Chains A and B, each alone.
Chain A
Amino acid sequence: MNLIGNVVGGSVGEHIVIRLKSDSKVDVGDIIKINSGNDDYFGKITNVKIFSSVPEQFIHEIAGQKLEHGYENHLFDREDRFFRIAEAKVLKIMRKNVGFVPPRSIPEYFSQVNVIDSSDFSFMQNNGRIPIGFLRLGTKEMDTFIVKLKGEELISHHILVVATTGKGKSNFAKVFIRGLMMEPNSSAVVFDPHAEYYGEKNIKGLRDHPKKSKVLYFTPRTAEFPGSESLVIHADELNPSDFMGVVNFSDAQVEAMDALYKRAGRKWLAYLINTDMSEIEKSLDSKVMKATIASLKRKVCYAMELEDEREGLVFTTRESINNMSMFKKVINAVMNSKIIIVDTSIIGGESEKLISGAITRRIYNFYRKAKQQNPDYFKQLPETMVLFEEAPRVLGKEALAGGSNVFEKIAREGRKFKVGLCAITQMPHLIPKEILSQMNTKIILGLPSSADRTAVIESAPQNINDESREIQMLDRGEAIITSAFTDFPMPVKIFNFSTILEQDNEQMKEQKTFIVGME
């Protein structure tokens, strides 16, 4: 333990004021312990500021003497008169012979304040299963204390990962998925718009992990990735509701889609795209105008990226014959607790939304049906996480203005069906408050924008008002995790994915060597 100061003020529910010792090294985010009578207070530094008993105008004059006249500053008892004040929030109180109690009291004046070290973490419960990083004290990571998140409950109660560019959103996601790969009964579907999760030539990804057999990769670039599955969606697997929330349709166009679906069933899209418009108009008893059909066709083709109106990178109007549908493959993989990565890196925006929405809807409906029709079977199904980047594209106020979509539905009621979201974004303020507050775990990496910080802080499951400054200053890989499943906001240094990947591979090699040796 390292004495850093004395308590000189504060109030319950706000913060404790600490006069810092002149030679103490204290950072925002440091965890402290204050002994006061029978209580040990555990807290976190939320702010550090300079202070002086010398009135401000004199301080300005002191600076002026050096600047204007070249006189060196000479101050008696400098450390008594010019010092630092820290503010800390109380996290927990350990009461002698009682145990942990909520922070409803405050330490005495002049109680000693210490920065805790690795030998003093008994107060932190660490009963999670998915390791994501080291506990962080300010800028120092404690490599003896690994922060683990609960897997199952955490997933179905949704996760929001927020950070500005370069702060480590994707690294966190990879670390978290790597943790899920170790779990026997967890599954994830990852929509990968930057082709960074599976791994490429010079980028390490989940395919390089010893448990890579758990990963199923769907990509339009199968030639580049031997063993991967082709990302092909046949038009006859889509129905009108797959397009809702993806493309902005007029009421007439929606009615036209319904009429087409009634008329041609599963082949409604092929019929719309490949049939002469006059014939369609006629077949629909002229209830739909030709112009409506034309614009519907244009919008649908655009969303499916059908270049020659028959084949696109992913979508095709060819009939699915013997091949097992991509959707079925995904559902099978989910049932078998696999990690499914869908490569959307070479696909355009609307098409990507169509793919992710269609896949997610099928998973969600599968779980809902299972719960309704076979509750025992439902209980055995793994918890499934749907991970997607640039979350406002599907959960943003603008995206939802045209109507609800499957992502919003999952956000609101997915926990009942063991399906959860892991939404990644740089701009959480674009997501409605009600949805943000459904995200019961928030992984907050650096957020310089005050609008984004406010959105996250206001919707956090714990009071993190005091952490605003820290959130602003977080460096790459540093995070605050606020969750309904942790006792307080946890400061974490997220593992570097490449490093733990190497460690996992080393460990696997050692295990193999040991087994060979045994033989």
Chain B
Amino acid sequence: MEYNSLIEFISKNKEHKDIPCLEIKEFLQNTSKSNIYAVDGGNAVIIDGGTWIISKVRTAVVLYNKNRVNESHTSYIVANTENAVKSEPEEEIALPKKIEISEIPNHFRKIMEVEECIKSVEKAEKDDIVLCDFLFIPDNVVIALKINELIKKAEKKGVVVVGIGKTSRANIKGNSLIGFLNSMNQNKKSLWYSILEPASNYTDLVAKLYPLSKYTYRINTNSKDIENTLGILSYYSSDTAIPGYPYPLIRADWLARITDNEKHLEKTEIGKNKDYRKLSMDERSMDFHERLDEHAHK
């Protein structure tokens, strides 16, 4: 099948779908600069031995108010097919019943992220915003419990928690939800949002945070004053270099990210351990793709 026919196939199927009309509301940017805590996490597998894994996970918090404050926490996790342990402090990680070993670092990163959000809520004052780089829709029970704890604590302190999904596969009858909303507002240079579902403890919505942005994000929040919260988020999303996405989250992403260079350094350090040689044979079970990449014509 050629590209043209592929595109035709997708377009035809879209046309026949009956899409309900969602209510779109406009809002204004709010420059009242509330304290905003942005939390993000990053992880990388340092060594994959097939039946075991060593991974590095880092979370970062950036507080934006008069003076910017950065904070980051790093942990290492070691996991095998049975269980997983994290470092500093060393303790076992609660795992859902069914999880692939390769998914454990992601799972633990999400836990660390939610825990970091909880810590930020504890530090925050009433009406401060804690901005999370995840939606409140959990992957499993372990994370569901943590998210629940986060929302409850925020509710109790009067702190607004906002979760942002950078990408979404949400759809209405097979059509991309965000794609559909974007097409409806193609030429609009305004800030707008549309509530998908007012849940009991948080609202699920879609919003565009910068007039010229080509991106719309799915947002979950416990805020009672949605337009005010979105107005503040819009202010923090007005950085001209990366418009439309909250800048504090970008900053947190830079801090939390584990670069390839860092990964290689960690691997080198581990390789210096004399007992590691026995284990290094296991790596051969997983690293052939890397070997191929090294030989590939780039």
A58 to B248, CA, bound (A): 18
Give residues 227-248 of B contacting A (CB, 8 Å). 236, 238-243, 247-248
Residues of B within 8 A of A282 (CB): none
Residues of A within 8 A of B243 (CB): 65
What number of A-B contacts does a CB cutoff of 8 Å give? 31
Digit string of A60-101 for contact with B (CB within 8 Å is 1, else 0)?
001001100101011111000100000000000000000000
Residues of B within 8 A of A516 (CB): none
B239 in contact with A74 (CB, 8 Å):
yes
Known A-B contacts A74-B238, A75-B241; the reply to A65 vs B247 at CB < 8 A is no
B212 in contact with A74 (CB, 8 Å):
no
For the complex, is A321 an interface residue (Cβ under 8 Å from B)?
no
A77 to B248, CA, bound (A): 10
Residues of A within 8 A of B152 (CB): none
Digit string of B238-279 for contact with A (CB within 8 Å is 1, else 0)?
111111000110010000000000000000000000000000
A126 to B198, CA, bound (A): 80
For the complex, is B188 an interface residue (Cβ under 8 Å from A)?
no
Give chain B nearest CB distance to A31 CB in angstroms: 34
Seen from chain B, the residues whose Cβ lies within 8 Å of a Cβ on chain A are 64, 68, 211-212, 236, 238-243, 247-248, 251
Residues of B within 8 A of A62 (CB): 240-241
Give chain A nearest CB distance to B45 CB in angstroms: 27
Residues of A within 8 A of B242 (CB): 58
For the complex, is A515 an interface residue (Cβ under 8 Å from B)?
no
B68 in contact with A77 (CB, 8 Å):
yes
Seen from chain A, the residues whose Cβ lies within 8 Å of a Cβ on chain B are 54, 58-59, 62, 65-66, 69, 71, 73-77, 81
Most buried by A among B236, B239, B242, B247: B239
Residues of A within 8 A of B251 (CB): 76-77
Which of these, A59, A69, A76, contacts B239 with CB under 8 Å? Answer: A76
A73 to B212, CA, bound (A): 13
B212 in contact with A71 (CB, 8 Å):
yes
A77 to B64, CA, bound (A): 10
Residues of A within 8 A of B241 (CB): 54, 58-59, 62, 75, 81
Residues of A within 8 A of B64 (CB): 76
Most buried by A among B64, B211, B212: B212
B68 in contact with A75 (CB, 8 Å):
no
A74 to B238, CA, bound (A): 7
Give chain A nearest CB distance to B91 CB in angstroms: 35
Q: List 14 A-B contacts (CB under 8 A).
A: A58-B241, A59-B241, A62-B240, A65-B212, A65-B243, A66-B240, A71-B212, A73-B240, A75-B240, A76-B236, A76-B251, A77-B68, A77-B247, A81-B241
A69 to B240, CA, bound (A): 12
Which of these, B68, B240, B247, B248, contacts A71 with CB under 8 Å? Answer: B240
Chain B residue nearest in CB terms to A74: B238
